[in-house]
């Protein structure tokens, strides 16, 4: 509880609101367009070094799917704030799983049992040996990830959140204590940025957000503070504090869309 201000973005619903949702959608559309058109443009004229053309449906499918899995894994890796053993296992493990399952599905054994269902036999073995395919996947990854990196860097540089400056300060001090609330959980990739970088050795659950985008989409009460978040946190505060918070939040959303933490909240108004 050294830095109570770190709790603010969660309370003020700054991280899962409509604007973030549309930014996510826009990034998804951009990535999809890149992942389709780059392999399309490359493979429509490409041939192997043995002369056979690479423009067939199954090569295109394997290339696009592999590029997709790699881009998503890189994106997750960018989002992961704390790389514990579990994170490593799941990120590299999911990549490995993808390749294993793909090779298994394209194997001759399954084709012999069910020829009509597994008719991609031999595809991945031949396709993934072509340098053109890997160059295409690399190009698609670079085109998808570089804008994300640039935006993150700009955001960090121009409008650093309190948690980020905190981590920078800590990195400058000698590391007497370890990086505190380290994350052991797998599903916590998007929370790492905000919460767990506090120096508290308590679990990072205190910084956990509320329900995420599901609530936003299905119910439309996205502009109001979720009662769940307030109930867990504000149990020992009076209702007047909650009212003050609500009013301030309403003001902040009507005036600006940024999430700089610049005003203070006085918590004890009994």
Partner 1 sequence: MAKEKANSGPLARRPDNSAFKQQRLPAWSPMLTANTVLPFFYCMAVLCMLLGVWLLVTVQNTQELKLDYTEAGTCNACFAKRENASNALQPCNCTVVFPIEKAFKGNVFFYYGLRNFHQNLRRYMDSRDDAQMVGRKKNLKSPSTYCEPFEKDENGLPIAPCGAVANSIFNDSFTLVYHGSKGSTIHVPLYRSGLTWYTDKNIKYRNPKFVVGALQEYPNAFAGTAKPLYWHKPVYELDPHNPDNNGFINEDLIVWMREAAFPNFKKLYGILNRVSEPFTEGLPVGNYSIEISYNFPVQYFRGRKEVVLTTVTWFGGQNHFLPIAYLVTGGLILLLAVILTVIWWKFGKDGKNMKE
Shortest distance (Å) from residue 83 CB to partner 1: 4
Would you list the DSSP string of 241-262? HHHHHHHHHHHHHHH-------
List the interface residues with partner 1, window 53-82 (CB under 8 A). Answer: 53-61, 81-82
Question: How many angstroms separate the Cα of 72 from the Cα of each of 61, 76, 82, 124, 233?
Answer: 17, 6, 18, 20, 34
Shortest distance (Å) from residue 184 CB to partner 1: 4
Shortest distance (Å) from residue 43 CB to partner 1: 7
Nearer to partner 1, 184 or 214 (CB): 184
Of these, 47, 227, 232, 238, which contacts partner 1 (CB under 8 A)? 47
Distance of CA 15 to the CA centre of its chain: 12
Positive or negative, the CA dihedral 60, 63, 69, 71 is: negative
Whether 246 and 225 have beta carbons less than 8 Å apart is answered as yes
Of these, 97, 149, 223, 231, which contacts partner 1 (CB under 8 A)? 149
Distance CA 3, CA 45 (A): 58
For residue 223, give the H/E element and its range: none
Determine if 89 is a binding residue for partner 1 (CB under 8 A): no
Question: How many angstroms separate the Cα of 11 from the Cα of each of 182, 239, 242, 245, 261?
Answer: 21, 15, 10, 9, 12
Of these, 18, 152, 224, 247, which contacts partner 1 (CB under 8 A)? 152
Size of the site for partner 1 (CB under 8 A): 77
Nearer to partner 1, 13 or 141 (CB): 141
Determine if 23 is a binding residue for partner 1 (CB under 8 A): no
Determine if 104 is a binding residue for partner 1 (CB under 8 A): no
For residue 196, give the H/E element and its range: none
Question: How many angstroms separate the Cα of 190 from the Cα of each of 115, 133, 135, 187, 196?
Answer: 42, 31, 30, 8, 11
Distance CA 163, CA 175 (A): 17
Of these, 15, 156, 208, 234, which contacts partner 1 (CB under 8 A)? 156
Of these, 1, 2, 45, 218, which contacts partner 1 (CB under 8 A)? 45
Shortest distance (Å) from residue 85 CB to partner 1: 6
Shortest distance (Å) from residue 155 CB to partner 1: 9
Shortest distance (Å) from residue 232 CB to partner 1: 19
Determine if 217 is a binding residue for partner 1 (CB under 8 A): no
List the interface residues with partner 1, window 115-144 (CB under 8 A). Answer: 115-116, 119, 121-122, 125-126, 130-132, 135-136, 139, 142-143
């Amino acid at each position: 509880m050294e830095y109570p201000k770190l709790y603010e973005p969660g309370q003020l619903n700054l991280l899962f609101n409509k604007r973030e949702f549309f930014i996510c959608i826009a990034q998804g559309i951009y990535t999809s367009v890149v992942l389709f058109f780059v392999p399309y443009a490359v493979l429509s004229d490409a041939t192997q070094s043995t002369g056979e053309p690479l423009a067939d449906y199954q090569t295109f499918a394997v290339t696009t799917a592999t590029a997709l899995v790699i881009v998503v894994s890189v994106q997750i890796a960018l989002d992961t704030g704390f790389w514990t053993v579990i994170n490593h296992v799941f990120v590299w493990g999911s990549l490995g799983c993808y390749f294993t399952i793909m090779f298994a599905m394209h194997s001759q054994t399954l084709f012999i049992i069910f020829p009509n269902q597994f008719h991609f036999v031999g595809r991945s073995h031949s396709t993934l040996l072509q340098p053109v395919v890997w160059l295409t996947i690399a190009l698609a990854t670079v085109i998808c990830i570089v804008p994300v990196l640039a935006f993150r860097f700009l955001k960090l540089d121009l409008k650093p959140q309190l948690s980020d400056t905190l981590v920078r300060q800590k990195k400058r001090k000698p590391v007497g204590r370890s990086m505190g609330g380290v994350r052991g959980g797998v599903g916590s990739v998007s929370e790492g940025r905000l919460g767990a970088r506090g120096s508290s050795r308590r679990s990072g659950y205190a910084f956990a957000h509320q329900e995420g985008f599901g609530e936003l989409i299905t119910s439309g009460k996205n502009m109001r503070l979720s009662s769940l978040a307030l109930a867990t946190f504000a149990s020992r505060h009076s209702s007047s504090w909650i009212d003050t918070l609500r009013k301030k939040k309403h003001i902040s959303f009507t005036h600006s869309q940024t999430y700089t933490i610049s005003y203070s909240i006085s918590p004890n108004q009994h």
